[in-house]
C-alpha cells in the first residue's frame, strides 16, 4: 500500500548518490541470473539528472525510488528505468512511478510510452502486461537481451 507521504519530484544533482545506491541495491539480485551487472547498475545518472530526465520518489522526505524518462522519437517516451529501494518494495511505489511516467508522456503530448526489461527479469515480464503494456519486440542491445513493451496513450 502506498504511503500518503510519498511524492514524486524532478531529481536534483544532490539526488545522484541516492539514485546510484538504489540502482545498485534494486538490481543486485539479477547479477547471478545474468552473469553480469544489469545496465541500470552502470548507467550515468548524473547525466540523466543534468538533462532533466530523472525524477525521484520521496517517502517521508527520503528518496526511495526513481524513474528515468527519455524522448524516443516522434510521439514516444521511453521509460528507460524505474527502481525502488528494496526496503520499500511491495508497497505500490513502482506502480506509482510507472503511473507518473504515463502521465508525463500524456502531458508531453506523446501517443505512446515504451519500456524494456531484460529477459532474465521475469518478474517484470509478468508486471508490465498487467499495467497495460504489450510486448512489441525482443532485441540484443548494448550487450543485453531486452524485451520491449509499448502502451498506446
Q: H/E/C letters for each residue in 68-132?
A: EEEECCCCEEEEEEEEECHHHCCCCHHHHHHHHHHHHHHHCCCCEEEEEEECCCHHHHHHHHHCC
Rounded to two decimals, the pTM is 0.94
For the chain, the domains span 6-152
Look at the domain 6-152 and name its fold: Aminopeptidase (3.40.630)
Beta pairing, strands 76-84 & 112-118: parallel
pLDDT tens-place values along the chain, 153 residues long: 455 689 999 999 999 999 999 999 999 999 999 999 999 999 999 999 999 999 999 999 999 999 999 999 889 999 999 999 999 999 999 999 999 999 999 999 999 999 999 999 998 898 999 999 999 999 999 999 999 999 999
Amino acid at each position: 500500500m502506498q504511503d500518503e507521504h510519498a511524492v514524486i519530484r524532478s531529481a536534483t544533482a544532490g539526488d545522484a548518490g541516492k539514485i546510484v545506491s538504489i540502482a545498485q541495491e534494486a538490481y543486485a539480485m539479477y547479477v547471478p541470473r545474468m552473469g553480469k551487472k544489469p545496465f541500470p547498475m552502470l548507467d550515468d545518472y548524473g547525466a540523466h539528472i543534468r538533462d532533466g530526465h530523472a525524477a525521484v520518489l520521496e517517502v517521508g522526505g527520503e528518496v526511495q525510488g526513481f524513474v528515468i524518462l527519455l524522448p524516443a522519437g516522434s510521439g514516444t517516451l521511453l521509460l528507460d528505468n524505474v527502481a525502488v529501494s528494496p526496503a520499500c518494495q511491495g508497497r505500490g511505489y513502482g506502480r506509482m512511478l510507472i503511473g507518473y511516467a504515463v502521465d508525463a508522456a500524456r502531458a508531453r503530448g506523446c501517443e505512446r510510452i515504451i519500456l524494456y526489461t531484460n529477459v532474465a527479469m521475469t518478474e517484470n515480464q509478468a508486471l508490465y502486461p498487467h499495467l497495460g503494456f504489450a510486448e512489441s519486440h525482443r532485441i540484443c542491445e548494448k550487450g543485453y537481451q531486452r524485451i520491449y513493451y509499448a502502451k498506446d496513450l
